[in-house]
Amino acid sequence: MSGIAVAVVDDHPVFRLGMVALLSTLEGIEVVAEAGSAAHALDAITEDVDVVLMDLELGDGSGIDATRALCARDPGLRVLVVTMHEDEDSLVASLRAGARGYLVKGAGPDEVERAIRAVANGDMIVGAAVAAKAMTVVAAPRARSSVFRELTEREHEVLDLIARGHDNATISRRLVLSPKTVRNHVSNVLAKLGVPDRSSAIVRARDAGVGL
C-alpha cells in the first residue's frame, strides 16, 4: 500500500469520525482501521497499519496499556497519542509505553498532518501544548529505580505517585487508568513490599529515594 496507513482509536464516536473525515482529505494518508476500545484496537490493528492515533482514555482500559501492547507486538508501529491530557505524567507514561508522538486534542489540522507524517518517518514529535514538558523529560528522564526490582514498571510508577502523596483518584487521572486498576496496582505494591498500608509504603519508598 502506498502512502501512510492510519488507524484511529478513540471511544468518542464524534471525535473519531471527525478525525477520520479530516484524514480522508489529506493526500497520501488513508484510514484503514478504527477502534472505540482497547480490546477492539488490539484486534483491528494489523501489520498493515503504519501509524495509530491513540486516545488515552478508552472505555475498557487505558490507551497507554494499549500502546504498550501494540508496540510490543509490532516494534515498527508508530503510535501518535491524541488526548485531552497536558500533564507531564501522561506524557512520560505515553513515551515509556512506546508512543512516538503526543498531541493535545484541539491541535489544528496542519499540526495533526505534520505529526502523522513525522512519526511515520520515524521522528518523535510533541505538540506545542506540551513541548515545554517534553523538554524537561528529555533533559532529565526519570529512570526506573534500581531498588524494588520485584515491582513491574507500572507498579514503580504507582509507587512513585504514592510516595509523592497522591491518592488513588489522582493516580488514576495521571496514569489514565481506571480506579479499579489503580486499586489492584496499589494492593500489589503493598504485597510485594511486605508493608501493611500506604503510610508504610511511603516510608519505604522515600527511604529508597523514590518519590522525592
Q: Is pLDDT above 70 for 1?
A: no
- Kindly state whether residue 72 falls inside one of the protein's structural domains: yes
Q: Are residues 113 and 157 in the same domain?
A: no
- pLDDT value of position 80: 96
- pLDDT value of position 91: 85
pLDDT band at 59 (very low <50, low <70, confident <90, very high): confident
Q: What is the CATH number of the domain that holds 91?
A: 3.40.50.2300
Task: Identify the weakest region by mean pLDDT among 7-16, 51-60, 93-102, 145-154.
Answer: 145-154
Q: Are residues 162 and 87 in the same domain?
A: no
- Kindly state whether residue 145 falls inside one of the protein's structural domains: no
- Kindly state whether residue 199 falls inside one of the protein's structural domains: yes
Q: Are residues 165 and 131 in the same domain?
A: no
Q: Are residues 66 and 125 in the same domain?
A: yes
What confidence tens digit (pLDDT) does each residue in 183-206 have?
999 999 999 999 999 999 999 888
- Kindly state whether residue 24 falls inside one of the protein's structural domains: yes
Q: Are residues 102 and 161 in the same domain?
A: no
The pLDDT of 119-126, averaged and rounded, is 91
What confidence tens digit (pLDDT) does each residue in 4-48 have?
999 999 999 999 999 999 999 999 999 999 999 999 999 999 889
Range(s) of the domain holding residue 76 = 4-139
- pLDDT value of position 143: 47
Average pLDDT, the chain: 87
- Kindly state whether residue 212 falls inside one of the protein's structural domains: no
Q: Is pLDDT above 80 for 144?
A: no
Q: Are residues 190 and 103 in the same domain?
A: no
- pLDDT value of position 149: 85
- Of 116, 139, 162, which residue is a domain's last? 139
What confidence tens digit (pLDDT) does each residue in 156-172 have?
999 999 998 899 998 98
Our count of domains for the chain comes to: 2
pLDDT band at 141 (very low <50, low <70, confident <90, very high): very low
Q: Are residues 40 and 103 in the same domain?
A: yes
Please name which of 75, 87, 73, 171 lies closest in space to residue 130, comparing C-alpha atoms: 87
- Of 139, 161, 193, which residue is a domain's last? 139
Long-range contacts of 196-200 (CB under 8 A, 24+ apart): 198/162
**What's the CA gap between 136 and 59, in Å, rounded?**
31
- Kindly state whether residue 146 falls inside one of the protein's structural domains: no
Q: Is pLDDT above 90 for 95?
A: no
Q: Are residues 20 and 112 in the same domain?
A: yes
In the block, residue with C-alpha cell 491541535? 107
Higher per-residue confidence, 139 vs 5: 5
Please provide residue 27's backbone torsions phi and psi, each rounded to the nearest 5 degrees.
Answer: -65, 135
Q: Is pLDDT above 80 for 128?
A: no
- pLDDT value of position 96: 85
Q: Is pLDDT above 90 for 135?
A: no
The pLDDT of 133-154, averaged and rounded, is 65
Please provide residue 24's backbone torsions phi and psi, each rounded to the nearest 5 degrees.
Answer: -65, -15
Q: Is pLDDT above 90 for 140?
A: no
- Kindly state whether residue 186 falls inside one of the protein's structural domains: yes
- Kindly state the cell numbers that stand for 82: 491524541
CA 2, distance to chain mean position in Å, is: 28
